[in-house]
Amino acid sequence: MPETETLTGARKLIDDLVGDRAAEWDRAGLIPDDVLRTLATRGLLCVGVPETFGGPGASSAANGEFTAYVGSRCSSLRSVMTSQGMAAWTIQRLGSPQQHAEYLPKLAGGKLAAVAFSEPEAGSDLSAMTTTIEPDGDTVTVRGQKVWTTAAHYADMIVVVGRYGSGAAAVVVPASAPGVTVSRVPQPSGCRAAGHADVRLDDVRLPASAVLGGGQPLMLLVTTALAYGRISVAWGCVGILRACLDAARGHARSRQQFGKPLAGHQLVGRHLANLLTAEQIATRVCEHASRCWDDGSPEMVVATVLAKQVSAVHAAQGAAAAVQVLGSAAAHEGHVVERAYRDAKLMELIEGSTEICQLILADHAVSMPGR
C-alpha cells in the first residue's frame, strides 16, 4: 500500500530530524525552520491532504498513528502538525473547488498554516467571538484580535474564523498582509516550541476569494473546523502516553532500590499497569474515532470529542504517574517525561477543555437514541 510506505519512510525522517533535539527545542521555545520546511515540503505536516492536491492522502487511521509517532517524540512539532492539518481540513470542508486548488497544494508543498479561533473574551465560549470579516465589493476587511493561535509564529497563512453577515466564515490571511501583527505568547507552559501567538488584525484588506464559505452558523463552522484539531490532539496524547510508558518501564526495569528493580515494588508496578491501561484505552478510542472518519459515519462527531476527552485526561494522569516513577531522573527541564507532564496538561485545556468536552458528552448522553 503506497500510503503506508510513504508514512513508514516518514517515520524514519522524523527520527532523523527530531533525534534527541526535542528537549533543546523545548528550552529554546523554537523548532528550527529547516525542520518545519523539510516536513512541510513533503506534505508531512498535513498527511490527510488528498493525492490530487499533492498530499500523501493518508486515511484518518494512518494519519492518527503517524501523529502519535510524532507526538511521542515532540509534542510541539505534533502541535504544529495539528494546526497545519486543521487549516487544510477547514479549507477542504469550507472551500470551493477553486480554493482547494489554490490552497491545498501550498499546504502540502511547503507553506505553513495556523487556524485562529480564540479571542480575549471568547475562549471556551467561542460564540462570543467578535472578529469580523466584512465584504466590500470584491474585497473583504478583517478586523479583530485572536489569542493563543498555535503555530501562528511560523505560519505563512492564518485561517481566521470570524463573523460574516448574520453567520460566520473563515478567511485565509497571509501572515505578511498589511495590518497583521503576530506576537508570540511568552513562555507557554506546554508545547513550548509550538509557536503559540496572538494575532492582531487591523483593517486587513483581502480579495473576497480568500473567504471560505460564508454565512454558515458560527458554531457549525467552529465544530467542523475543530473536529480535525480534536482527533489530532487525541492521537497526539496517545503519543505522549507511549513516550511515558516507555520511559517509565525502562526506568523501573533498570533502577534498583531496596535490593531489587523498581518494577519489583508493587506500588511502582501499579503505576506501570495504569500507564499501560491508559495507553491502550486512548489508542482504542482514537482508533474507533478514526474508523468513523474513514467510514464517513455521522458518529465521527461524537466519537472525536470522546477520543479527545479520554486521551487528554489519560495523558495528563499518565504523565503524572511517569514523573512519579522516574523521580529525580526526570525532574529536570526538557526530560521526555517532564515535557510530557507539561504538554499533556495543556492538551486538557485546548481544542475544547476537559469541561467543555464533558458538557458536549453530557448533552449527547441526554439526547442519544436508546438501545
Partner 1 sequence: MSMDQAVTAEGIEQAITEFVSGRVKAEVPADEDLFASGLVSSMFAMELVVHLEQAFSVQILGDDLKRDNFRTVQAMTALVARLRGVEQPADA
Residue closer to partner 1, measured from CB, 172 or 227: 227
Q: Among the candidate windows 30-38, 46-54, 243-251, 296-304, which touches partner 1 by CB under 8 A? A: 296-304
Coil vs helix vs strand at 35: helix
Q: In sequence order, what E strands does 175-278 have?
A: 180-184, 197-207, 211-216, 256-257, 260-261
237 grid coordinates: 496524547
Q: Among the candidate windows 109-117, 142-150, 219-227, 262-270, which touches partner 1 by CB under 8 A? A: 219-227
- Is position 215 an interface residue for partner 1 (rule: CB under 8 A)? yes
Using an 8 Å Cβ cutoff, are 76 and 191 in contact? yes
Q: Among the candidate windows 6-14, 179-187, 194-202, 359-367, which touches partner 1 by CB under 8 A? A: 359-367
Interatomic CA distance for residues 31 and 301, integer angstroms:
32
Give the contact letters, 23-52, x = binds to partner 1 (CB under 8 A), - = no. ------------------------------
- Residue 161, H or E segment: strand 157-164
- Is position 250 an interface residue for partner 1 (rule: CB under 8 A)? no
- Is position 301 an interface residue for partner 1 (rule: CB under 8 A)? yes
Residue closer to partner 1, measured from CB, 167 or 261: 167
Nearest partner of 269 among 256, 252, 288, 254, judged by Cα: 252
43 grid coordinates: 506534505
Compute and round to an integer the Cα radius of gyration of the chain.
21
Residue closer to partner 1, measured from CB, 129 or 319: 129
Interatomic CA distance for residues 246 and 269, integer angstroms:
14
In this chain, which of 28, 101, 220, 362 binds partner 1, going by CB under 8 A?
220
- Is position 217 an interface residue for partner 1 (rule: CB under 8 A)? yes
Span 88-147, contacts to partner 1 by CB under 8 A: 92-96, 99
CB proximity list for 80: less than 8 A, separation 6 or greater: 31, 36, 45, 112, 150, 151, 154, 194, 195
Residue closer to partner 1, measured from CB, 1 or 365: 365
Q: Contacts with partner 1: how many residues (CB under 8 A)?
A: 34
Give the contact letters, 147-186, x = binds to partner 1 (CB under 8 A), - = no. --------------------x-------------------
DSSP 58: -
148 alpha-carbon distance from chain centroid: 13
- The contact set with partner 1 (CB under 8 A) reads 92-96, 99, 167, 212-217, 219-224, 227, 295-302, 305, 360, 363-364, 367, 369
